[in-house]
Amino acid sequence: MKWSGRRQSDNMEDRRGISGGKVAVGGGLIGIIILLVNIFGGESAQNLAPILEQLQQGQSSAPTEQRDLTAEEKETGEFVATLLADNEDVWNKIFTENGWTYEAPKLVLFSRQVQTACGGASAASGPFYCPGDKKVYMDMTFFEELKSKFGAKGGDFAVAYVVAHEIGHHVQTLLGTSAKMRKMQQGLSEADANKLSVALELQADFYAGVWTHYNQEMNQILEPGDIEEALSAANAVGDDAIQKKMQGQVVPDSFTHGTSEQRVYWFNKGFKSGDIKQGDTFAELR
């Protein structure tokens, strides 16, 4: 991906050089809970907030330490800040075209653990969006695990896809889609509620594709292999792929993010169409 020399967003908090603070007792239970529902997730953390708040009462404090970032870490921060700026530019354009007002989120880079308005999280949580504070949280070690544990190709555009997906959840919050989904989930069986969660996640994949479409038109960012990196990441984090890898079998009724095929399809649809109005992933449920 071509990214050098472009604007970098100021809406980023880099906490990677900071360690310490509150440490979860009981083997990192908070991180495990978020991990179960929040790999590439958007709204689940908010639903868990009451549970997480209770668990945090059992956390102990550790001394806070700070270190200098390495040259590689600094470059990674600049890259992510550029991605964030690209997302701001694209979504500002799309919202303006539709007569809406875009409120940019913040993005937090952290190492090991972090406190959020949705509760505590660890590196094991994977990237996530917290609607409580309208921030995206990322520990960059996730992308190494994406390659080593789930077979993704990796690469800079895999990072771009993840950032765009999480900001897609922010877009859903601004447009009221997330709130509508939570209301629709009330009173449903777990399987039917999960189907709505899948639709929300697939729409975030679609929005990531739309962002790619617009950003290519505006900045000519793509290099050979970039789209393949995004599709490989989407394929790796399908519910079926993760379940087969982690538990040896697939349980469709428990899906909350969509199959590998679905995630690839909706990213591609967004990328090829560039039309936000073609992303009604809930239509199949009607």
For the chain, what is the radius of gyration of the CA atoms? 18
β-strands 12-14, 106-109: how paired?
parallel
Residue carrying structure tokens 């900045």 = 219
Return the structure tokens found at 279.
């992303």
Determine the residue type at 13. Answer: E
Domain ranges across the chain: 12-275
For residue 64, CA distances in Å to 13, 22, 25 come to 17, 9, 17
Q: What is the pLDDT of residues 60-86, one digit of tens each?
A: 444 456 677 888 888 889 999 999 999
Q: How far apart are CA 273 and CA 286, in angstroms?
A: 23
Q: What is the pLDDT of residue 45?
A: 46
Q: What sign does the CA torsion over 23, 29, 32, 37 have?
A: negative
Question: What does each of the 286 residues of the chain score in pLDDT, given as a tens digit?
Answer: 999 899 999 999 988 876 644 433 333 333 434 444 444 455 544 444 444 445 445 444 444 566 778 888 888 899 999 999 999 999 999 999 999 999 999 999 998 888 899 988 887 778 899 999 999 998 878 777 766 665 566 678 888 999 999 999 999 999 999 999 999 999 999 889 989 999 999 999 999 999 999 999 999 999 998 888 888 877 676 655 556 555 555 555 555 677 888 899 999 999 999 999 999 999 977 6
- Quickly count helices (H) and strands (E) in the chain: 11, 8
Q: How far apart are CA 139 and CA 122, in angstroms?
A: 8
